[in-house]
Amino acid sequence: MKKSRLTLKIFSLIVLCDVVDTIAQLLMKKGLLSSSSFLVWAGVLIFALNFFIWIAILYKVDLSIAMPAGSVSYILVPLAAMLFLHEHVGLVRWIGICCIVCGIYFVSQSKRPAEKAL
Helix (H) or strand (E) holding 109: helix 91-109
Task: For residue 38, give the DSSP letter.
Answer: H
Classify residue 113 as exposed, middle or buried by CB count within 10 Å of its CB (0-12, 13-18, 19+): exposed
pLDDT at 42 over 70: yes
Using the predicted structure, report yes or no on whether residue 3 has a pLDDT greater than 80: no
pLDDT band at residue 117 using 50, 70 and 90 as cut-offs = very low
**56-101: per-residue pLDDT in tens?**
999 988 888 888 878 888 899 999 999 999 999 999 999 999 998 8
CB atoms under 10 Å from CB of 90, counted, come to 8
pTM of the model: 0.80
Contact 107, 68 (CB under 8 A): yes
Domain ranges across the chain = 8-115
- The DSSP secondary-structure symbol of 66 reads H
Name which residue leads in pLDDT, 27 or 5.
27
CA–CA gap between residue 51 and residue 20 (Å, rounded): 10
Q: Are 99 and 91 in contact (CB under 8 A)?
A: no
Residues 23-50 have a mean pLDDT of 94
